[in-house]
Amino acid sequence: MTPTRHDIALDPPVALAPLAGITDLPFRNLVSRFGAGLVVSEMIASGEFLSARPGTREKAELGVEVENTAVQIAGREPGAMAEAARQVADMGARVIDINMGCPAKKVTGGLSGSALMRDPDHALRLIEAVVGAVDLPVTLKTRLGWDDDRRNAPDLARRAEAAGVARVVIHGRTRCQFYKGRADWAAIRAVKAAVSIPVIANGDIVDTATARDALAQSRADGVMIGRGAQGRPWALAEVAHDIHGARAPDIPQGEALCDMISDHYDAMLRFYGADLGLRVARKHLGWYMDRAGTPAPLRREVLTCREAAKVTRLIPLMIRHGERAAA
């Protein structure tokens, strides 16, 4: 298949970053309802996906029916990446995103993720294989480089554009930085200057103020937000409204917030099943309680409870007691 250039709009230009174990389908759906230009699935390892390792497809639940969703794939072998892209496309995906930015040792140890920035020729072969396998927009997420001596993101982005990639997301750190220090938004400007396709800035962007700074320093076309949405699924919509004039989100308070959290909790229980859902939900409940200022004894009770029904009964208390403590 001949690579096809796709121009894809990101409206509003505020995207949810893929975060392993966090941005699952229930959370992406919630963020989408508030208003986000794009949400990205948790990373799918192409080899595991193709071998149908138990739980891989279920965990990845792609949400391909959601219009503003991109499905992210990772891997080392061009053939496996191409076949995974084809299968995801057959499932109804609208956008395929290639992960070349994950810094985790279990990913880079397998010569995937940001490890590919050490071998840009091989990285390009993977990009060409995916672009050539599907008639869908293909995007790329990467970092500034492997380390400070190899900040090759501008060159990789230029070659990716020539291969047919429609958009790039740049996290403003090198792989060797992991998540330490501050993201270098100004360094993303070199990527923007190297390509004509849209460039999205990522890293340490958590609210309107940091989004404005990142856009000013990088001259990027949009931003991608990850941890800023934890406990605040409306955060992307706030940024989109403040900077781009999108519809203002109706931020829930009081009883409406309790209802939203309860609905999110129920969605996780349905998605994962009661036992696993109870455990997976704890991180999200913790972030909601962080925002609400829930008293420590009640927080401990929520996070150690082993009965889903009891947690449901505690949700209104954790918000109301938190609001009283903050008053």
Hey, which residues are catalytic here?
102
Beta-strand relationship, 222-225 and 138-143: unpaired
CB 45 within 8 A of CB 255: no
Q: Is 141 annotated as a binding residue?
A: yes
Q: Is 226 annotated as a binding residue?
A: yes
- Separation CA 163–CA 122 (nearest Å): 13
Q: At 246, is the secondary structure helix, strand, or coil? A: coil
Strand (E) or helix (H) holding 44: strand 44-45
Q: Is 171 annotated as a binding residue?
A: yes
Name the DSSP class of 115. Answer: G
Q: Angle, to 10 degrees, between the axis of helix 254-272 and the axis of helix 274-292?
A: 150
| Token pair recorded at residue 89 | 């496309």
Question: Taken in order 146, 150, 156, 159, is the CA torsion positive or negative?
Answer: negative
- Separation CA 102–CA 157 (nearest Å): 16
- Separation CA 63–CA 49 (nearest Å): 15
DSSP string, 202-250: ESS--SHHHHHHHHHHH--SEEEESGGGTT-TTHHHHHHHHHH-PPPP-
- Separation CA 25–CA 23 (nearest Å): 7
Q: Is 87 annotated as a binding residue?
A: no
**Known binding site: residues?**
72, 141, 171, 226-227
**Known binding site for FMN: residues?**
72, 141, 171, 226-227
